[in-house]
Chain A
Amino acid sequence: MDTNISFTLKVWRQNGPKEKGHFDTFEMKDIPGDTSFLEMLDILNEQLIEDNKEPFVFDHDCREGICGMCSLYVNGHPHGPAQGATTCQLYMRRFKDGDVITVEPWRSAAFPVIKDCMVDRSAFDKIIAAGGYTSVRTGQAQDANAILIPKENADEAMDCATCIGCGACVAACKNGSAMLFVSSKVSQLALLPQGRPEAARRAKAMVAKMEELGFGNCTNTRACEAECPKNESIANIARLNREFIKAKLAD
């Protein structure tokens, strides 16, 4: 049976991208261990509203770990201390009575703060728009079984496609690099015959857009891989580099 815990919660408050931020501190009492982290923040907000104060703002939506909307830097880790889980899948039983829990937004030049811990990740959409697709017109596709794809390739492509675009990799990286995100999409499509015809163009266009938007370079610290809630592998980055070099050599 889960027990209740009490702890100190420090949350980042910031009124807008250009405003100065600060931490607010709250004492949370008797929170059941089977409460999710975001439900705990709901409890905090209900309390704030009761006191006629502005609730704490954070992004969240599906609360099942799949939409990629939730973010939050919890005690120095994107998505908190649990491995392979998003913040919405983090449960309070992971924490101990008397803990101090610090909540901050993603910090990256490419993800400006909108309010409190809500950040603007539209840069990711711009990278996908630059080339993260196959150029197929609606209704023109051949039969789905016309091209056989070895199970191993399909499974590996699926692992790459599991990326939820949350931005934890960028937040974890000391350089603010988006290489894990970009390489996962490039890898998924490079591994499938449907994605091959545009593989070179795609790799070049997505990398160029990433650089233009102010993301940093990759220096192989592997912090992204360690913090990714979907366990994306940096082997994808190696594959992206190969695709990129091949594309450049072909120029």
Chain B
Amino acid sequence: MSNAKKAEPAAAAELFILHDQVHEPMHDRFLWATMQRRDAQAAAIPEWEELRELASKIKGHTLTHLDHYLEEFEANATKRGAHVHWAMDAAEHNAIVYSILESHGVKELIKSKSMLQEECQMTPFLENRGIKVIESDLGERIQQLDDQPPSHIVFPSIHKTRQDVAQLFARKIGTDPNDDDPHFLTEVMRNNARPRFLAAGAGMTGGNFAVAETGTFMVCTNEGNADIGASVPSLHIASIGIEKLVPRVEDMGVFLRLLARSAEGEPLTQYSSHFTGPRKGGELHIVLVDNGRSRRLGMPDFWHSLKCIRCGACMNTCPVYRRSGGLSYGATYSGPIGVILDPTFDEFKYSELPFHSTLCGSCSDVCPVKIDISDQIFKWRRVMAKKGYLPLVKRLAFAAAGHAFGHPEEFRLMEEVGAPALDYAPDFLLYNHSLNPWGRERQLPEPAKQTFREWYLANRSKHGND
């Protein structure tokens, strides 16, 4: 069904690791540190697990009554003066946004971070129609200047060193390539973005949550860039995925206590803003977007992925993600959540992603809304295998492993035969890069003269509990 080239995360990850001795270790270190901060916050809240359970249930309830809550949200938002639009897919979202901008004569717009807008590829769509789009979030701006998508949903440029950023700013903004102090680079961004905020005809944001009870949507940032964009230009457009709904104002207490702690190990983001209808002297348009979400809702194995609050904790904890970098996934969403979301956009293109995991399960443990991410990764593997998307090598490897583990006598025979075979097989076969990738990075084990099982049967079982 898809003509797109398959994403190859393993190969891309290898490039990331081999690039130099700096980038991958830095990336791994920063995200591990972020995860530790998350752990510390979680440990400091006695009711942490209860909050996760509540969040999971609130989202689960909302999703199983989503039509009701969307209608309630629309009614309340409209009552307060917002314009609510509905977009079936990415193309419709982009068309609606363009139509609103065009009718207001907007030539330049400034936006804050939105994974949904990234998903819809909104920026190239608008720029092709003569509307300039400026990212205001520092990490997103860095990526925009570098013509790259964001690599992490919370820290879009976390794969770049400060030198990378300094070089990039020097090339694109004309600053000193040797000044790589993060304070300096942040100041550069501040001074660069500020005039754009003041000149922009519209500000665009995403939405972290949408509260049905009051028609409110929420935007959480550390920089305050979403708030500048919403409070300075008189036109504010917000793109919100339909799965962002929560029923009541009080539900936000649960989610806000979980979100920033999970995402970055802080009690809150610096700004947690609530928009209910347009501001004084302004106009507000909300675009509710489906783009495959309603279809995903009908997948009994995978609908729990819709509970995601985009915290990124799964990425920070994932040992594979930390060594691979988000760009290696070749998709809008990377990391564990990406692995279970992306195949719903293109099963063939992302058929390798579910294998880019050791199924260690850490993602499921840290997810604030208790998505069974690791289980879903495994379930996707079965889907890919059934659909015949596995490359031959994997199919053979899985078949061989499955057979061996399913037939204990054969497994033992393999051990008996394999052991002396390893003794006698020449090194050039054992350490041949193509024939035995194991040997690329590892010495092969020296098999013992006797397996433990053999020893145990010989020495222990006769004596019972010795």
B and A form one assembly: no
